[in-house]
Structure 1
Amino acid sequence: MKAARLHLLLHVFLSAGVLVHTFEPFTTTLVVGVGAALGRTIYNYLHESCDSKWIVFNATGLQVDLESKLFGQHIASRIILKAVTGFMNNDNPKKPLVLSLHGWTGTGKNFVSQLIADNIYKEGMDSSFVHIFTSELHFPHLSHFDTYKSQLQQWIKVNVTNCGRSMFIFDEMDKMQPGLIDSIKPYLDYYEKLDGVSYRKAIFIFLSNAGGDGIIQAALDFWKAGRDRDELELKDLETVLSVSVFNNKKSGLWHTSLIDKNLVDFFVPFLPLEYRHVVECAMAEMKARGVRPDQNVAHQVAKDVVYFPKTERVFSVKGCKTISSKLDYYT
């Protein structure tokens, strides 16, 4: 579809170029102007820009995606929807939106980041306004700490200058060098502008396994007490989570001023997934592949996953992380 429209635009543009030779001299300037305008149209069609054509928030789309694609995360879904919707509908936010997502691997942290991007940017995660940092890839050497700080500040400043509606995702925060993330504190604070640049419409998302043990313990306690996991609320986890992350020396947020100065808007807990959630993940993966979802296959995959505690087998050790590869085996 995109290629067909591009072909049409090129055809019109080239036709306009041919017409230049058929007009009298006094009309040539007009036709060349039309050709230039068409050229700009083609450029704007192909080149992502920081405007409503490429960046438009779809609140309904985000709600539907969270309800139909994210499993076992009633707390995270509710927080993400309200936080992102409120922020994106505010034409004059006082500060950037800062979300810190916590939980064990495979529970949906990266996936939620993708859903947010998909419902803000036309190009989704492929948007030039979405930037992903992975600690072990981008900040691997302790000896380069000062260089990383400078580079990180410059990267954020340049990209927010280019587009105020930029999104920055920091993965593996639990592996980031303590103190490094503090270098971007000014950009997350309540400043109207810094050196002429406003950061208030940007989104910062931190992804971390830190605090996951506390979340799991709370979920396990609920299960042992015979209570439904859906009864768990943010208030049951948020304080414990923020304190444990702040005091965890293995966390990139250890003793960070971002927490100390209350610049993180929401600490979002991702609960460990149960057998039924793994089945749902398998069904969703089959659907995404264009294959008719098969309950029998989904249960085969779910049974093949490792659970804990070993005797009760309540929660999946890796969440839904290995579902895709296991489906390759069973289908």
Structure 2
Amino acid sequence: MKATRLYLLLHVLSTTAVLVNTFDPVTTTVVIGIGASLGRTIYNYLHESCDSKWIAFNATALEVDLSRKLFGQHIASRIILKAVNGFMKNANPKKPLVLSLHGWTGTGKNFVSKLIAESIYKEGMDSNFVHVFTSTLHFPHPSQYLTYKSQLQQWIKGNVTNCERSMFIFDEMDKMHPGLIDSIKPYLDYYDKLDGVSYRKAIFLFLSNAGGDSIAQTALDFWKEGRNREEIELKDLEMLLSLSVFNNKESGFFRTSLIDKNLVDFFVPLLPLEYRHVVQCVMAEMKDRGVEPDQYLADKLAKDLVYFPKSERVFSVKGCKTIESKLDYYT
């Protein structure tokens, strides 16, 4: 693909050069202008830029993906669709969209981020305007906390200056130095501009395992009471979740002003997955590989996973996290 792009650009330049040598000086000026303009057009066509060709929200695609690919997450699906849809349709939002996704490993936090990115950016997660920060990779040393704060501010400012429709994903928030995220609080607040830069059209996603136990306990309580998991509503979890995260010393949100000042638009709970959801994950992975879905194989793989509580085996401890690698073993 890169070779093709290079060929096209070289062809444009060579064509322009031939035309320049063909015409008189006055015409040459016109030809050079046309060639330069055409070159810019082709360059912008082949290389991602911050415009509607490369960034265009597809609400229908997001809705379809959430309903067909995200299993067992009725609360998260509803929140994500309404929040992202409302934000992207607002030509003049008052602040950036800030979503905090919480749940056990394998419940779909990173997958949800991927679906959101794919619905907005033509290049999806590979877009130059989608930026992923992983705590253990980008902020590994607590002793360098002050340096990280300065770097984080500069990274965000620089990227939003480059494209106002930037997305920032912070993974492993539960491993982030408490208070580090407060360094970007001004960028998430209700400011028109900061130092000449508007952050109001940016999106911030925080992913964390923190609060996962509270979510799982609520789901387990519903199960013990014989109630359907689809009866669980956001109101059953949101306050419990925000408080548990705010007061958790191991959380990047510990005592953070983002919560205190209500700058997080939604705390999105992702429920622990049941056996049937794991089976759906296996079937979906087979389909993605171009293999005919095998119900027997999916059941076999799902049964061999670890579930909680041990006696009842209700919820998958790792959700769908290891499905991809385990399927290699079972096939």
**Equivalent residues of 1:219, 1:272 under 8 A apart:** yes
**Equivalent residues of 2:166, 2:203 under 8 A apart:** yes
What's 1:70 paired with?
70
Secondary structure at the aligned position of 1:71 is classed as coil
What's 1:202 paired with?
202
Structure 2: how far apart are the matches of 1:324 and 1:330? Answer: 10
> What's the CA shift for 1:151?
0.7
> What's the CA shift for 1:196?
1.1
Residues 79 and 304 from structure 1, CA distance in 2 versus in 1: closer, same or farther, beyond 3 angstroms?
Answer: same
Deviation digits for residues 48-105 of structure 1 (CA, Å, limit 9, x no counterpart): 2111111110000100110111000000000000000000000111111000000000
> What's the CA shift for 1:8?
5.5
What's 1:236 paired with?
236
Query: Counterpart amino acid of 1:205?
Result: L
Q: Does 1:135 align with 2:139?
A: no
What's 2:250 paired with?
250
Unaligned runs of 5+ in 2: none
What's 1:156 paired with?
156
Q: Does 1:280 align with 2:303?
A: no
Scaled by the length of structure 2, what TM-score is found? 0.96
Summarize the alignment of residues 212-231 of structure 1 with structure 2, pairs less than 5 Å apart.
212-231=212-231
> What's the CA shift for 1:292?
1.7
Deviation digits for residues 11-57 of structure 1 (CA, Å, limit 9, x no counterpart): 45533332322223332222222211121122212322111111110
**Equivalent residues of 1:61, 1:119 under 8 A apart:** yes
Deviation digits for residues 278-303 of structure 1 (CA, Å, limit 9, x no counterpart): 01101111111111211122112111
Q: Does 1:96 align with 2:99?
A: no
**Equivalent residues of 1:178, 1:252 under 8 A apart:** yes
Summarize the alignment of residues 1-331 of structure 1 with structure 2, pairs less than 5 Å apart.
10-331=10-331
Query: Counterpart amino acid of 1:185?
Result: K
Query: Counterpart amino acid of 2:240?
Result: V
**Equivalent residues of 1:149, 1:183 under 8 A apart:** yes
Secondary structure at the aligned position of 2:98 is classed as strand
Structure 2: how far apart are the matches of 1:6 and 1:143? Answer: 45
Structure 2: how far apart are the matches of 1:6 and 1:145? Answer: 43
Query: Counterpart amino acid of 1:21?
Result: N
Secondary structure at the aligned position of 1:119 is classed as helix
**Equivalent residues of 1:10, 1:42 under 8 A apart:** no
**Equivalent residues of 2:9, 2:43 under 8 A apart:** no
**Equivalent residues of 1:102, 1:268 under 8 A apart:** yes
Query: Counterpart amino acid of 1:278?
Result: V
Query: Counterpart amino acid of 1:272?
Result: P
Secondary structure at the aligned position of 2:281 is classed as helix
> What's the CA shift for 1:10?
5.0
Structure 1: how far apart are the matches of 2:141 and 2:242? Answer: 27
> Identical aligned pairs, as a percentage?
81
**Equivalent residues of 1:69, 1:284 under 8 A apart:** yes
Give the number of aligned pairs: 331
Residues 122 and 246 from structure 1, CA distance in 2 versus in 1: closer, same or farther, beyond 3 angstroms?
Answer: same
> What's the CA shift for 1:142?
1.2
Moved more, 300-309 or 83-92: 300-309
Deviation digits for residues 175-208 of structure 1 (CA, Å, limit 9, x no counterpart): 0010111111111111111111111111111000
> What's the CA shift for 1:4?
6.2
Structure 1: how far apart are the matches of 2:135 and 2:56? Answer: 29
> What's the CA shift for 1:6?
7.0
Structure 2: how far apart are the matches of 1:141 and 1:4? Answer: 43
Structure 1: how far apart are the matches of 2:5 and 2:255? Answer: 53
Query: Counterpart amino acid of 1:219?
Result: A
Structure 1: how far apart are the matches of 2:287 and 2:134? Answer: 29
**Equivalent residues of 2:12, 2:39 under 8 A apart:** no
Secondary structure at the aligned position of 2:120 is classed as coil
Query: Counterpart amino acid of 2:139?
Result: F
Residues 314 and 49 from structure 1, CA distance in 2 versus in 1: closer, same or farther, beyond 3 angstroms?
Answer: same
Structure 1: how far apart are the matches of 2:286 and 2:158? Answer: 41
Structure 2: how far apart are the matches of 1:160 and 1:9? Answer: 29
> What's the CA shift for 1:2?
8.8
**Equivalent residues of 1:105, 1:318 under 8 A apart:** yes
Moved more, 139-148 or 17-26: 17-26
